[in-house]
Amino acid sequence: MTALLEVKNLKTYFKKKKVNIPAVDGVDLKINKGETVALVGESGSGKSITSLSIMRLIPSPPGEIVDGEILFDGKDIVKLTENDMCKIRGNDISMIFQEPMTSLNPVLTIGEQIIEVLMYHQKMSKSTARNRAIEMLELVGFSRAKALIDDYPHRLSGGMRQRVMIAIAMSCNPKLLIADEPTTALDVTIQAQILDLMKDLSKKSDTSILIITHDLGVVSEVADRVVVMYCGQVVEEASVDDLFDEPLHPYTTGLMGSIPSLDGDVERLYSIEGTVPPPEHFPVGCRFAPRCPHAFDRCRNEDPSLITIKGSRSVRCFLHGDKEATL
């Protein structure tokens, strides 16, 4: 399989009072054509900044991509001019945000918001764009799309708005869809509808999806591969089956243990001690060491690197792969 997106050693820093804050610190990420990759982590792990960096939407100043490459279809988009980037955004890469309530323009009708995208990117005439917009709305499951197209966003519920967002994002047949916590603000029954829709669309149109979430249930539902982030770094990467069968990094294990199960009882939940440190106070050595139950001296002094294990997965931890590391 060919890689559609390849992020190499991405570093996005924010300047605050002349101090560099490493929000994203050397992230590698690869998404193949038609693949769904999940980016998992708690708040403050840098997962949203990674996705915004890919879209080149980091507010600058204070933010800046200081190092690394983002290869999209072979082109390094870090080096593109703003004008060239505008052609990629919405056309080749599009994004769905967490808050369906605030990401639609309240004074434009739903139709206008979809038509605008199509006229700008696909150079369609207004009437063809309108037909295409109706088609898109039907595709995301609205039965009365013709009537709905002239409605304003406030008349829709959260789940319906998120479907409109998906319709907008998918209207130009993007190669990559970035979904930042697309179902976090929604109820479970609506979440099930949206996840189903996303799976369906990616199968139909062969779109790659980067889904950002903190919900491991959602991950196992939609993703092919999982990338776990902690404190601006990738700590583990594996296929979804491998990860849930045998999580390697203590942070991943901790995350899984923290979630109460729906079909089984545990006496007491496992909890990771402490909290995610803010980026200006990342500890020396392994960043997870202060909260890790297995930490030993080496963890507190040396920075572990991301090593490949069993050919297909990788982990950033001294507990694993010492044998492989010496190879």
Partner 1 sequence: MSVTTAEGMNEQAYKKESDYILEVKDLKKHFPIKAGFLQKTVGSIKAVDGLSFNVKRGETIGIVGESGCGKSTAGRTLIRLYEPTSGEIIFKGRNIAKMSEGELRRSVRKDIQMIFQDPYASLNPRKTLKAILTEPMITHSLYRPRERMEKLNELLEKVGFNPLFINRYPHEFSGGQRQRIGIARALALNPDLIIADEPVSALDVSIQAQIINLMEDLQEDFRLTYVFISHDLSVVRHISDRVGVMYLGKMMEFASKKDLYEDPLHPYTQALMSAVPVPKKKGVQARERIILKGDLPSPANPPQGCVFHTRCPAATEICSQMVPEYKELKKDHFVACHLY
Choose, by CB under 8 A, the member of 188, 297, 322, 326 that binds partner 1: 188
Cβ burial, residue 79 (10 Å; 0-12/13-18/19+): exposed
Binding of residue 271 to partner 1 (CB under 8 A): yes
Choose, by CB under 8 A, the member of 82, 106, 147, 263 that binds partner 1: 263
Query: Of 40 and 58, which has the nearer Cβ to partner 1?
Result: 40
Span interacting with partner 1, options 3-11, 48-56, 113-121, 156-164, rule CB under 8 A:
156-164
Which residue in 246, 242, 204 sits closest to 225, CA to CA?
242
> Crossing angle, helix 110-122 and helix 158-170, to 10 degrees?
10
3-state secondary structure 14-79: EEECCEEEEEEEEEEEEEECCCEEEEECCCCCCHHHHHHHHCCCCCCCCEEEEEEEEEECCEECCC
Binding of residue 257 to partner 1 (CB under 8 A): yes
Chain centroid to CA 48: how far?
A: 7
Query: Of 53 and 183, which has the nearer Cβ to partner 1?
Result: 183
State the nearest-atom distance from the C-beta of 149 to partner 1, in Å. 19
Binding of residue 258 to partner 1 (CB under 8 A): yes
Residue with tokens 């939940």: 269
Choose, by CB under 8 A, the member of 19, 60, 62, 270 that binds partner 1: 270
Site string for partner 1, 192-231 (x = CB under 8 A): xx-xx-----------------xxxxxxxx----------
# chain residues binding partner 1, by CB under 8 A: 46
- Cα gap 322→144, rounded to integer Å: 59
Residue 176: φ, ψ to 5°: -135, 130
- Cα gap 52→190, rounded to integer Å: 26
Helix/strand/coil percent split, the chain, to 5: 35, 25, 40
Q: Are 261 and 255 in contact (CB under 8 A)?
A: no
Choose, by CB under 8 A, the member of 244, 306, 308, 319 that binds partner 1: 244
3-state secondary structure of 95: strand
State the nearest-atom distance from the C-beta of 209 to partner 1, in Å. 15
Indicate the helix (H) or strand (E) that contains 245: helix 240-245
Query: Of 68 and 100, which has the nearer Cβ to partner 1?
Result: 100
Output the six-digit token pair for 299: 């963890």
State the nearest-atom distance from the C-beta of 298 to partner 1, in Å. 24
Site string for partner 1, 99-138 (x = CB under 8 A): ----------------------------------------
Choose, by CB under 8 A, the member of 68, 111, 159, 279 that binds partner 1: 159
Within residues 26-55, the interface with partner 1 by CB under 8 A covers 42-43
Which residue ranges make up the site for partner 1 (CB under 8 A)? 42-43, 157, 159-160, 187-193, 195-196, 214-221, 240-241, 244-245, 254-263, 265-266, 268-273, 275-276
